[in-house]
A and B are shown apart, each in its own frame.
Chain A
Amino acid sequence: MRQVRRAEAKVPTTAGRRAHNRKETVAGYGFLVPWLIGFLGLTVGPMIFSLYLAFTKYNLFTEPEWIGLDNFVRMFTEDPNYIQSVQITLVYVLVGTPIKLAAALGVAMLLNYRDRGSGFFRSSFYAPSLIGASVSVAIVWRAMFSTDGPVDDTLSFFGIDIGGWVGNVALVIPMMILLAVWQFGAPMVIFLAGLKQIPQELYEAAEVDGAGPWHKFRNVTIPMLSSVIFFNLLLELINAFQVFASAYIISNGSGGPAGMTNFYTLYLYKRGFADLQMGYASAMAWVLVIVVAIIAFILFKTQKSWVHYAGENR
C-alpha cells in the first residue's frame, strides 16, 4: 500500500500536474458558470455601481450627477427622518435580538429536557419563522395589536388599559419587536441541535462537583454552545437590520405613526423608489453595508475570547 502510494506520488511531473490542474480548473469554473454570472452580474457589478451612485444625484431618468460626499453629509446633518430611522432601527435590533435569542435558547433548553412530544412543540414554535415575514402575518399582527384587538382586550382584562399599539408612538416599536421575537423558532432549532451535541458526561461531572442548575448552565451549557450562539447572534443581528415587509404593511408604507416604523430599509425604499432619489438611497445602502461589516468584524474578532470550539466539527 505504502509502496503504491509512493509510486503514484512520483508519477506526476510538474508538467503533468499542471495539465491535470488545468483540466480540474476548467471543470471547476464550468460548474460555477451560473453562479459566477450571478455573482459578477447581480452582486459585484451592482455593488460597484451602487458605490458610484452613492456619490451622485440620480433620478433614474437624467444622467447621474457627481456630488461627492453630499449625500452622506445630508444624511447625518440635514435629514431628521434619517436620524430617526437609524434610532428606531438600532432600538429594534439591539433590544429585539437579545430577547429573541434568549427566548430561543430558553425554549430550546425546555425542549431538550424531555423527548416526549418535543417534535410537535418544535414544529409549532418553528412555524412562525417560516411565515413571519409574510404580508398575511403583518396584517394579522396589525389586527392583534389594534385598539380593542385581542392583545388590548387581554391587557384590559388585567386592568392595564393602554389602548391600541399600532397607532401609539411609544408602543409601535415594542409591537414590532414582539413580532420579531415571535419568530424565535429558527434560532431555537439551531440551539436545540447544539444542545443535543453537548456530551452528557460534562453535566454529570459538574454534578459530582456539586454544581447547581445555574452553575451547569453558566459553566457547561454556555461555553459548549458558544459557537452556536455566535452563529445565531451574527445572523439575527444582520436580519434584524433588514426588516422591511412587516414595517411596510403595518404602516401602509408610510412608516407611521410619526415615523416610528420608518425602519432603515423602509426609509431607503421610500427615498429610492417613491422619491426616485437613487443616489441618496444608494448612500444609505452603503452605510448599512458598512455597519453590518463592522458588526461582523467585531463579532469575528472577539470570538476568540468567548467562542469555544470543542475540537473540529468536521
Chain B
Amino acid sequence: MTTFEAPRVEVVENALEPTAPARRRRVKRKTINTVIWFVVLLVLTAIVLYPLVWLFFATFKPSSEFGQNQGLIPNNPTFDNYTKVVEGIAGTPLYQFFANSFFIAIMAVIGTLISSALAAYAFARIRFRGVGILFAAMIGTLLLPFHVIIIPQYIMFQKLELVDTYWPLIIPKFLATEAFFVFLIVQFIRNIPRDMDEAARIDGAGHIRIFFSIIVPLIKPALITSAIFTFIWTWNDFLGPLLYINSPEKYPLPIALRLYNDATSTSDYGATVAVSFLALVPILIFFIVFQRFLVAGVATQGLKG
C-alpha cells in the first residue's frame, strides 16, 4: 500500500506546499505518527502474547512458588516440572498422550483432505442435477450448531460399540463433515481457470483423470491450509474425546491435561502448567512455519463468503 501511496503524496505536496520547511514539517509529523503506530502495536502485542509468555516461564516455577509468585520470572527456576511430567500420570507415560493425539490428528488430516477435496471438486466443477441444493445444504451445515447432532451421534456410536475407540473421532473426518474445508477448497477451485480441464476433457479425460492430474496439483495451497487447520483443531478438540474416550491410556492430550488438572489442586500446579505448555508446542511450531497459509486461508474464506 505504501508503495503506491508515496508518489501521490509527493505530487500533492509539490502542488500545494512548495516551501521546503513545510514539507520537512510534514515528513517529521509522518515519522512521529509511524513511531506512535509502532509503539501502540508493540504494547498491544505484549498484552496479547503475555499469557503465552507467562505460561512458558511458569513451567520453570517450582510448584510451591505458585501461591506467592504469579509474576513472569520464577524466583527459583527449575526443570523439576518437566522431569516429573515426563513420567506421566495414571500409569500412562506422557509420550503416550502425545502419540494418541498425533494419531488422531494425522488420521483426521488424511480423512479431511481426501473427502473434502472430492466433494469440493464435484461442487465446483461438475454440473449435475441437484448440485445447487446440495451445495446450499453443505453451506447450511457451516451454521449448524454442532451440539444438535452430538447426542444422536453418541447414541449411534454407543450402539455400534465404538465408544472408547478412536473411530467416532476419525470416521466423520473421512466423510467431509467439516464443511469449512469443503467450502475453502471450492472457493479455491473456482479461482482456477477452466481452460486446462476443458482442454483435458476435449482430449477425452474423465473427471477422475482431471481431478487427480490437474486439479489436485493446482489446489495444493488449499490442501495445505486445510491440513494445518484440521491438525490444529483436532489437536485442540476437547468435547469429542471427552465424550468418546474413557481409558486413560487412550486419552489425547487435552483430556490427559484435565487429569493433571483434576487430580492435583494446588500442590502440583507446576506439572499442570508444564503439560499445558507442552501441549501447545506442536501447534505453535505449526503456526510459526505455516502462518502464511493460515492467514491466507482465513482471509479468502471470509472475503468470498
Contact = CB atoms under 8 A, between A and B. Distances in A.
The reply to whether chain A is a binding partner of chain B is: yes
Interface of A: 21, 24-25, 27-39, 41-43, 45-47, 49-50, 53, 60, 107, 110-117, 121-128, 130-131, 133-137, 139-141, 143-144, 146, 148-150, 152-153, 182, 186-187, 189-190, 192-194, 196-197, 200, 204, 228, 231-232, 234, 238, 241-242, 244-245, 248-249, 252, 265, 268-269, 272-273, 278, 281-282, 285-286, 288-289, 292-293, 296, 313-314
B214 to A, nearest CB: 14
Given A46-B153, A135-B258, A231 B280 contact: no
B115 interface: yes
B121 interface: yes
Given A31-B121, A47-B144, A47-B149, 5 more contacts: A24-B127, A27-B128, A139-B272, A193-B299, A289-B145
Interface residues of B, number: 103
A77 B257 CA distance: 38
Chain A to chain B: the 10 pairs with minimum beta-carbon distance, closest first: A38-B175, A190-B302, A28-B128, A46-B152, A31-B122, A193-B299, A35-B119, A136-B276, A245-B238, A34-B115
Given A34-B115, A35-B118, A292 B143 contact: yes
B169 interface: no
A7 B302 CA distance: 42
Contact of B145 (A136, A238, A272): A238
Contacts of B141: 39, 43
B149 to A, nearest CB: 4
A148 B280 contact: no
Interface of B: 1-2, 4-5, 8, 34, 37-38, 40-41, 44-45, 48-52, 54-55, 58, 66-67, 70-72, 114-116, 118-119, 121-123, 126-131, 134, 137-138, 141, 143-156, 158, 171-172, 174-177, 182, 190, 206-207, 211, 232, 235-236, 238-239, 242-243, 253-254, 257-258, 261-262, 269, 272-273, 276-277, 279-280, 283-284, 287, 291, 294-295, 298-305
Given A189-B298, A273-B243, A135 B254 contact: yes
11 contacts: A21-B128, A24-B127, A25-B128, A27-B126, A33-B118, A107-B44, A115-B2, A125-B48, A153-B71, A272-B151, A314-B304
* B contact patch SS: helix
A18 to B, nearest CB: 11
Contacts of B269: 143
Contacts of A292: 143-145
Contact of A232 (B41, B294, B302): B302
A146 B71 CA distance: 12
Contacts, number: 294
Contact of B177 (A38, A47, A139): A38
B152 A53 contact: yes
A110 B39 CA distance: 11
B175 A50 contact: no
Contacts of A242: 145-147
Contacts of A122: 295
Nearest to A141: B51
Contact of B151 (A121, A137, A281): A281
Contact of A288 (B148, B207, B280): B148
B151 A38 contact: no
Nearest to A291: B145
A137 B301 CA distance: 25
A308 to B, nearest CB: 14
A146 B118 CA distance: 48
A227 B176 CA distance: 27
Contacts of B48: 124-125, 127-128, 182
A190 B299 contact: yes
B176 A24 contact: no
B68 to A, nearest CB: 8
Contacts of A204: 8
A110 B41 contact: yes
Contact of B40 (A110, A141, A194, A273): A110
Nearest to A142: B261
A278 B143 CA distance: 23
Contact of A29 (B58, B128, B156, B182): B128
Nearest to A241: B145
Nearest to B114: A34
Nearest to A110: B41
B138 A288 contact: no
A50 B302 contact: no
A153 B67 CA distance: 13
Residue with the greatest number of chain A CB neighbours at <10 A, chosen from B128, B146, B154 = B128
A123 B295 contact: yes
Nearest to B66: A143
B147 A42 contact: no
Contacts of B49: 124, 127
B219 to A, nearest CB: 14
A38 B141 CA distance: 11
A170 B182 CA distance: 42
Contacts of A182: 48, 51
Nearest to A122: B295
Contacts of A25: 128-130
Contacts of A50: 148-149, 151-152
A266 to B, nearest CB: 10
Nearest to B178: A38
Contacts of B44: 107, 110, 121, 125
